[in-house]
Chains A and B, each alone.
Chain A
Amino acid sequence: MSNPRAVVLTGAGINCERESAAALNHVGFDATIIHIVDLLQDSSALDDARFLLFPGGFSYGDHAGAAFVLAEQMRRLEDVLKTFVEKKNLVLGICNGCQLLLRLGMIGESKWGFRENAGGHYECRWVNLKASQDSAFFKKGDIIPVPVAHGEGHLFGGDHAEIGLQYVDENGELAAGAYPINPNGAEADTAGVIAHDGRVLAMMPHPERGFFNWHRADAMKAAELAKRSGVEFDLDGLTPAAQIFANAYKTLK
C-alpha cells in the first residue's frame, strides 16, 4: 500500500511549508505543497489526501489580524474542509496555521480566541509541552520540548476540555502562567487545542523545527554528557516533537 498523501498549504506569506512537508515525508507521508491560489481554483488534491497541514508564517502579513485574510479566503472551502474532516482524516495547524483553524472555527464548539503575547512582543524560544489527553498526534502525558516563535499566541476563552497541549517546566509541572515557561500568558497554559476526536490539532509551537536531535537547544550539552556516561547520542535521531508527525502516520497507516 502506498504512503498516505498529505497536503501542505503555501502562498500569500505562509513560510514554513518546506520544513513542514519535509517532516511529513521523513516519517513516511507523501506530502505535496499546494499554493492557496491553486487550491482555491481546484480542491481535488484533497480528495485522496489523508492529512492537511496549515503551516506557520505570516499569511497576508497578518494584516487586519493574524491569519485574518487567509481565513476569509479559506471560508470559500468550508464545505470541502468539513468533508475532509468527516472522512476521518487528520488536520494540523501550526502557529499561523493554528490561528487560521481557530478563526475558521474548526476547533471544537467553544471557539477559542487568541491575542498578543502577554509580554507585548514576538517571542522565539524553546519551551516544554505536556499532552493533556490522547489524540492522533500524542499520548496523554507525553513531554515534548519544542520551539515557539510568535507574537500572538495567547490562547483564551475556549472549553478547557479541548486543551491538547500545555506549557510545562522541565519537570513536567504546569507553568501556571509563569513567563518564560509559558511564553505568552495563554489561559491554562494552553499551547494546543484538539477537536474531532483528536483528529484536528491547532498548536502554536513548531514541532517541524524541533524535529531532529541536532535541532535541540541543548544538543551539545546532551551530546557531551552522553559521551561521559558512555551512552550513544544520535544527532540525527528524532525528538519527541517529531513523534507528533510519526504518531499521525501510525494513526493513518
Chain B
Amino acid sequence: MATRIDIIDLTSANADAGKTKFLGYGYRFSGNISTEALASFKDSLTDIKTYSGGYKSNNDWVRPNVDIGHPYIAEVRFRAGVTDNVAKSVAQLLGYADTRKNTQYWSDEIAITSGRIYGVATTADAEALYNPLIEFVEILPSSKWMASGFDTTIPSIELVDQPMSITVDLEVSDEQLIELSKRGIAEDTPNGIRYRGPLGLGLDDLHCLRDKYRALGREISDIELETFAQSWSEHCKHRFFAASIDEVTEGIFRRYIKSATDQILQKKPGFCLSVFHDNAGGIAFGDYVLAFKVETHNSPSALDPYGGAMTGVLGVNRDCLGFGMGAEPLANVFGYCLPSRDDTREFFRQNDGSNPLPTSHDLADGVIKGIEEGGNHSGIPTVQGFLYEDPSFRGKPLVYCGTLGILPREVNGPEGVQQSVDKRARPGDYIYVFGNHVGFDGIHGATFSSVELDHNSPATAVQIGDPITQKNLQDVLFKARDMGLYHAITDNGAGGLSSSIGEMAEGAGGAEVWLEKVALKYPGLAPWEIWISESQERMIASVPPENAEKFEELFAHYNVSAQRLGKFRDDGMLRLCYDGHELGTIEMEFLHEGEPARTYSSKGAMVVTPARSKAAPKMADVLAMDNFRSRAAIFRRYDHEVQGKSALKPLIGDVENMVSALRPVWDMREGVALSQAMMPYLTEADPFMAGYASVDLSIRRLIAGGANPEKIAILDNFCWSKPESKERLLQLKETNRGLYEAAMDHSAPIISGKDSMYNDFRGFDKNGEKVEINALPTLLVSSMGIIDDCASIASFEFKAEGDLIALYMPNANKLTRSQIDQERQDGGAASATPKTDHSASYARMANHIADGNLASVEAFGLGGIGFALMRCAMASELGVDVSIPQELRCDHLGAFAEFDSGFLVSIDPARRDKLDDDFVIIGEVKSDTVKIDEDVMSVQDMRGYYFAGGYGGQK
C-alpha cells in the first residue's frame, strides 16, 4: 500500500506568489502501516495551528484545506539511499526504527521518505531547487495538485549483483595501469563492464604493488587494492609533504613543520600534550587538554555545497570526539573561499552543456547553510570564521571546518585512571563500530579528493550529514569514556573503516575484521564497499573482552547502533574477512610504510610580480570591493552562544571580530582565544612572506584578544592547485619555509595540519570550450592561545569619544602585495618584503593589554591601517579624526597599504602617559564622522555601504 501525507504551512501558501516559497513537508509510506496510525500522525503534525494536512492513500486524495496561490507546486525528494534525516525521526516516532536491526529507518515492513514542498512561479524555478546528484523533483500545476496530489511511490536502490571478491591483474602495460587508476577496477556485469571508481594511485605506486604481489606469488584482491588506494592516497599520506623537493630532501613536513614543533617543544616542555599523531593537536589548559583541528571539505562541497559543508563540520567534530580518549567539542570555526555571488560564469563538467557546476549563488548559500545546520543542530557554537572571495574559487571552492575540544587530562581507562591523550588498541580487544549505518555514501571519497574534479567525479561522494545521530553518538560516547570501557577510539573519516581500523591496528600490531557484521543501510554492498564506504557519523572503539557486554548494553540502552566487527591482533597482519572467507591479507608494515617516496624539482621556477599601476583608493572605493563588505548575516545564522562559554563574540556592533574567546570552564578565569589568517593574494608574489606574515597576523590577532604570547599553538591548512607545476612547487616550498621561520620566531608550535593539493577544475564553458580554473594557492593559519585572565580582553571597537588613537608598529614593513591589488587585478611592489621578527614587540604589547591600559586593540591585516580605522569606527558607531604619517602611506594604496605587523589602539586620554615610544598617536575618536587625512565619510553612511553587500543584510 502506498500512502502519503502533505503538511502545508497556511501562512506561506498564499504569500509571495511570484516567488519561490517553502510550503511544508510531504511524507510517503509504503508497507503495512495502519490507516489509524497515519491519521493520528497527520493530526499530531498539525497541532500547531499554522498547518493543514492532506492525505493520500492509493489514489484517494484528501487535500490540505488551503488554496495554493503559486502557479506550480514542487516536491523535492532524495534519491534512494541518500540520508533522509526527517524520515528517520518520523520512523522513530511511529515506532518503526530499530537501531539494532540491520536497516535503520527502513524497517523490514515499512519504508518512509520525506520531501520538501515549494510553491513556485515557473517550472524553471522548481528546477533550480534541487541538486540532481542527490535529489529529484516532481512539479505539478497547483490546480492539478489540488485535484490529485503528488506521486506516492517510493524509489528503491537498484542493486547490482556483485561477486564477493575478484582479483586484479597488475602484470599489464603502464597504459593499462594508468587506466586502472583513473577508472577503477573493471568488473564484468550482465550489462557490460562496470568500473568501480578512481583509485588515484600513481604509476609508481602500482609498480610497487605489482612487485610486491609478484614476490608474494599471487594476484592482488580487489579489497586489498582498494585498501592501498585509500591508505596511500594524497588525502591520507600527504605525499607532496613527504616528497623530496629540491634541496628539501627529507620533505617539507619533516624539514619545516615537524622540526619547528620538535625544536619549540624542547624549549616549552609540558605545553603540548599531543602533536601530529592523533586526530587533532592538544595543548595543556590547567587540568584539561584543549584539542584543535581544522579540516577542508573542498571536493564534496564542489559537488553538493550543502551536504559537503555539513559533513565537513560533522567530520571535524568527530576528529575532536576521537582525539585522545574523547574530547568534547567546544567551538567550531569555518572558512570559505568562494567566487563572488555576482560571478555569473557558467561551467560544466561535460562538453555538451550537461552536469553544470553549482551557480556561485547556490554554492555560497549551500555551504553557509551546511555549516549552519552542522553546528547549530549539534549544539556547538560557531565562534570564528571568514568568507574570502576570488574568481579563482569558481571551479573549486575551499571550505575549511575546524573544531576546538576539551577533555580532562586524566580519564578512566579499563585499567584505572590514565592520561587522556594516551590510547592504544591492545591485541585481543574487540573492534566496535558505532553510530550510523553503512551505504554507498562516499565510496572513493578519499581517493577522489586527491584527483582533479571532472566528469568522472563520483556522485556517491556526495552525502548529507546527520547531526542528531552524531549528537546521540557523542552523548553515549562520553558515558562509555567515563565508565572506562575502552582502550582507544578514533573517528571514521576519509577511507572509512579501511583508514580507521588500519590506523588503530598499527598500535595493536594487527587486526582481523568481520565485514559481514557491519550494519548496512540497505542490502547489496560488496565487502570492499563496506570496507571503504565513508558513511558518516561513525566511530571505532577498541574494547577489552571483559567490557564488551557492558559496552553493548550501554549503546543498546541509548539506541545507538554498535557492532562488534573484529579483533585486534599482534601478528603484524590486517585480515579482511567476510562470512569466514579471508578476502584480504595485508602486511601492516608494508601498508603503512611501503608507499614509494617521490621526488620533485622546482628548478627554473621564478617569482614575477608586475608593477602596480593604479591610483590610491578612498574609503568609498574600498567599501565597493568584494572582501571589504560585511559578513554579519552569516554569523547571525550561526549560534555562537550555545554552551554558555562565549567571552568575546565574533561580531561587535555587527562588525566581524577577528579573534574570539571562550571560557571553557566556568570556574576558571583563564580563557582560550581563536583566530585565523591567510593571504592568498601574496602567495604568488612573495610566497615566503605569505607563509610568514599569515602566521604573524594570526598570532597578532590572538594577542589583540588578550592571549599570552608564550601560550600559542598554530595549525596549518594548505590548499594548493596544480601541485606538479614548478611554480606551484616553489610557492609550496617557500610558503612552508615562511611558516617554519614564523613558528620558530614566535615559539608557536605547529600542532596539527592538513593539505588539499588538487583544487583545480577542468571542464567546459557553455560553448563547450575547455576551461581550467586553478584556485589561488592558500595557506590558512588557525591559532589558539591561552588568555591568563579574561578580564584583560580589550576588544577591538572604540569605547568612547575623545579617546586617543595610536599605532603600535615598531619595525613594520609594507607587504609586496595587498588584497586591494588583488581586487583591482594590479601588480605589487618590486621586491619581496624582508623578514622581521616581531616577537619581542608583541610581548611588550601583551603586557600593555594585561595591565589594562588600552581601551581597544585591533591587529590590522586586510586593508591595513585605513580599513582597521573603518572597522573600529563602524563597530562602535563612533567617528575618527586621524592623520597617517607619510611613510606609512603608499602611492598606490594610500592609507590602505598592508604591513607585516601592527596594532591600532585607543586609550583614555587620562592614561596618555602609558603610551611609550613604541606608540604613535595619530588622532582621536570623534562622534560620528570618519576623517582619515582628507578622506571623509559619516559613520552611518559607511555602515550603510558596508552592510549593503550580499552577506551584510541585517534582515
Residues in chain B near residue A228, CB distance under 8 A: 800, 908, 910
Q: Is the CB of A64 within 8 A of B637?
A: no
- Chain A residue nearest in CB terms to B955: A119
**Interface stretch among A13-21, A79-87, A135-143, A196-204?**
A13-21
Q: Is the CB of B93 within 8 A of A69?
A: yes
- Chain B residue nearest in CB terms to A73: B93
Asked if A103 is at the interface (CB within 8 A of a chain B CB), the reply is: yes
Least CB distance, B97 to chain A, in whole angstroms: 11
Residues in chain B near residue A179, CB distance under 8 A: 954-955
- Chain A residue nearest in CB terms to B474: A15
Q: Is the CB of B92 within 8 A of A220?
A: no
Bitwise, B795-833 to A at CB < 8 A (1) or not (0) is: 101011000000000000000000000000000000000
Q: Is the CB of A223 within 8 A of B855?
A: no
Q: Considering the chains assembled together, what is the distance between the CA atoms of A72 and B641 in angstroms? A: 28
Q: Considering the chains assembled together, what is the distance between the CA atoms of A61 and B83 in angstroms? A: 13
Q: Is the CB of A35 within 8 A of B90?
A: no
Q: Which one of B51, B468, B637 contacts A58 once the chains associate, using CB atoms below 8 Å? A: B468
Residues in chain A near residue B794, CB distance under 8 A: 220, 224
Asked if B663 is at the interface (CB within 8 A of a chain A CB), the reply is: yes
Residues in chain B near residue A235, CB distance under 8 A: 790-791
Asked if A45 is at the interface (CB within 8 A of a chain B CB), the reply is: no
From known contacts A11-B472, A37-B559, infer whether A56 and B642 are also in contact, taking CB-CB under 8 Å.
yes
**Interface stretch among B374-382, B482-490, B720-728?**
B374-382
Q: Is the CB of A63 within 8 A of B88?
A: yes
Least CB distance, A162 to chain B, in whole angstroms: 16
Asked if B840 is at the interface (CB within 8 A of a chain A CB), the reply is: no
Count residues of B near A (Cβ-Cβ below 8 Å): 66
Q: Which one of B27, B471, B793 contacts A13 once the chains associate, using CB atoms below 8 Å? A: B471
Asked if B557 is at the interface (CB within 8 A of a chain A CB), the reply is: yes
Least CB distance, B905 to chain A, in whole angstroms: 12
Asked if A77 is at the interface (CB within 8 A of a chain B CB), the reply is: no
Residues in chain A near residue B649, CB distance under 8 A: 217
From known contacts A72-B93, A235-B791, infer whether A64 and B45 are also in contact, taking CB-CB under 8 Å.
yes
Q: Considering the chains assembled together, what is the distance between the CA atoms of A62 and B468 in angstroms? A: 10
Residues in chain A near residue B475, CB distance under 8 A: 10-11, 35
Asked if A211 is at the interface (CB within 8 A of a chain B CB), the reply is: yes
Q: Is the CB of B379 within 8 A of A15?
A: yes
Residues in chain B near residue A236, CB distance under 8 A: 669
**Interface stretch among A120-128, A166-174, A187-195?**
A120-128
Least CB distance, A251 to chain B, in whole angstroms: 23
- Chain B residue nearest in CB terms to A146: B641
Bitwise, B890-921 to A at CB < 8 A (1) or not (0) is: 00000000000000000010100000000000
- Chain A residue nearest in CB terms to B328: A18
Q: Which one of B45, B639, B795 contacts A220 once the chains associate, using CB atoms below 8 Å? A: B795
Least CB distance, A222 to chain B, in whole angstroms: 10
Residues in chain B near residue A115, CB distance under 8 A: 9, 11, 48, 50
Q: Is the CB of A69 within 8 A of B92?
A: yes
Asked if B646 is at the interface (CB within 8 A of a chain A CB), the reply is: yes
Residues in chain A near residue B256, CB distance under 8 A: none
Q: Is the CB of B791 within 8 A of A223?
A: yes
Q: Considering the chains assembled together, what is the distance between the CA atoms of A225 and B790 in angstroms? A: 17
Least CB distance, A55 to chain B, in whole angstroms: 10
Q: Considering the chains assembled together, what is the distance between the CA atoms of A217 and B468 in angstroms? A: 29
Asked if A164 is at the interface (CB within 8 A of a chain B CB), the reply is: no
Q: Is the CB of B379 within 8 A of A16?
A: yes
Q: Considering the chains assembled together, what is the distance between the CA atoms of A184 and B130 in angstroms? A: 28
Residues in chain A near residue B648, CB distance under 8 A: 220
Q: Considering the chains assembled together, what is the distance between the CA atoms of A215 and B377 in angstroms? A: 22
From known contacts A60-B89, A69-B89, infer whether A206 and B637 are also in contact, taking CB-CB under 8 Å.
no
Least CB distance, A147 to chain B, in whole angstroms: 5
Asked if A34 is at the interface (CB within 8 A of a chain B CB), the reply is: no
Q: Which one of B49, B86, B88, B799 contacts A221 once the chains associate, using CB atoms below 8 Å? A: B799
- Chain A residue nearest in CB terms to B661: A214
Least CB distance, A25 to chain B, in whole angstroms: 10
Q: Considering the chains assembled together, what is the distance between the CA atoms of A239 and B954 in angstroms? A: 27
Q: Considering the chains assembled together, what is the distance between the CA atoms of A123 and B376 in angstroms? A: 11
Bitwise, B618-642 to A at CB < 8 A (1) or not (0) is: 0000000000000000011111111
Q: Is the CB of A209 within 8 A of B48?
A: no
- Chain A residue nearest in CB terms to B796: A220
Residues in chain B near residue A227, CB distance under 8 A: 852
Asked if B558 is at the interface (CB within 8 A of a chain A CB), the reply is: yes
Q: Is the CB of B793 within 8 A of A220?
A: yes
Q: Is the CB of A63 within 8 A of B89?
A: yes
Q: Which one of B7, B637, B800 contacts A122 once the chains associate, using CB atoms below 8 Å? A: B637
Asked if B647 is at the interface (CB within 8 A of a chain A CB), the reply is: yes
Least CB distance, A245 to chain B, in whole angstroms: 12
Q: Which one of A37, A113, A114, A147 contacts B557 once the chains associate, using CB atoms below 8 Å? A: A37
Q: Could you list 12 examples of A-B contacts with CB < 8 Å?
A: A15-B379, A19-B644, A26-B666, A63-B85, A63-B86, A68-B45, A69-B92, A124-B635, A214-B663, A215-B647, A228-B800, A228-B908
Known A11-B472, A61-B86; further 5 A-B contacts with Cβ < 8 A: A58-B468, A111-B49, A122-B638, A124-B637, A149-B376
Q: Which 4 A-B pairs have the closest CB atoms?
A: A15-B379, A19-B644, A63-B89, A220-B795
